């Protein structure tokens, strides 16, 4: 329901407000890698496919979800690329980390008008789940084991999918 330079109303939520995510739980200070375009624009089917893309991004940061006024997805947003609490492993300075990935900072690096690919995973300290809020105001949980296609369907506002319960 949010994207740069746009105002969307309930009328724009064609999947229905109870079938669309508004906000999800994330962990502050999540490490991320950025500024390296993916070799493909295909959305990865799982974390293993995503881990192949991640090393192509040379810019490592450990400030994810800490600079919300910045407005970029790795600070103020999330994606449904991977299911909740999915691990995307990346080694930095000998440390194995669970990271997010953003191919480019939106509006930076000369990529104006170019697609930005991101995997900003919803994560929490709750075992096996994250808290989610839907556009209609309902608060519920998303589980680590939920079907990826259901999670992705909840992440769209106008894909005309009505997710089936698990």
Domain ranges of the chain: 23-125
* Choice between 90 and 52, residue whose per-residue pLDDT is larger: 90
Assess whether pLDDT exceeds 90 at residue 44: no
pLDDT score, position 38: 60
Output the pLDDT for position 14: 78
pTM of the model: 0.80
Say if residue 139's pLDDT is above 90. Answer: yes
Tokens of 134: 């839907």
Q: Could you tell me the two tokens for 58?
A: 């040379």
Please state the rounded mean pLDDT for residues 100-124: 77
Cβ-count burial of 93 within 10 angstroms (0-12 exposed, 13-18 middle, 19+ buried)?
exposed
Does 6 or 110 have the greater pLDDT score?
6
CB proximity list for 50: less than 8 A, separation 6 or greater: 44, 81, 82, 88, 101, 119
Asked if residue 46 has pLDDT above 70, the reply is yes
Q: How confident is the model at residue 162 (pLDDT cuts 50, 70, 90)?
A: low
Residue reference for tokens 């669970």: 98
Three-class secondary structure of residue 131 per DSSP: strand
């Amino acid at each position: 329901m949010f994207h740069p330079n746009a105002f969307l109303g309930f009328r724009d939520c064609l999947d229905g407000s109870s079938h669309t995510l508004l906000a999800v739980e994330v962990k502050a200070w999540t490490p991320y890698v950025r500024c390296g375009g993916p070799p493909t624009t295909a959305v990865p089917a799982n974390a293993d496919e995503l881990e192949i893309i991640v090393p192509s991004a040379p810019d490592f940061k450990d400030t994810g979800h800490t600079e919300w006024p910045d407005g970029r997805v790795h600070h103020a947003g999330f994606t449904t690329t991977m299911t909740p609490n999915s691990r995307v492993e990346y080694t930095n300075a000998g440390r194995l980390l669970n990271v997010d990935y953003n191919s480019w900072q939106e509006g930076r690096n000369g990529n104006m008008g170019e697609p930005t690919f991101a995997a900003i995973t919803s994560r929490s300290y709750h075992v096996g789940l994250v808290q989610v809020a839907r556009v209609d105001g309902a608060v519920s949980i998303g589980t680590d084991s939920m079907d990826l296609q259901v999670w992705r369907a909840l992440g769209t506002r106008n894909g005309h999918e009505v997710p089936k319960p698990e």
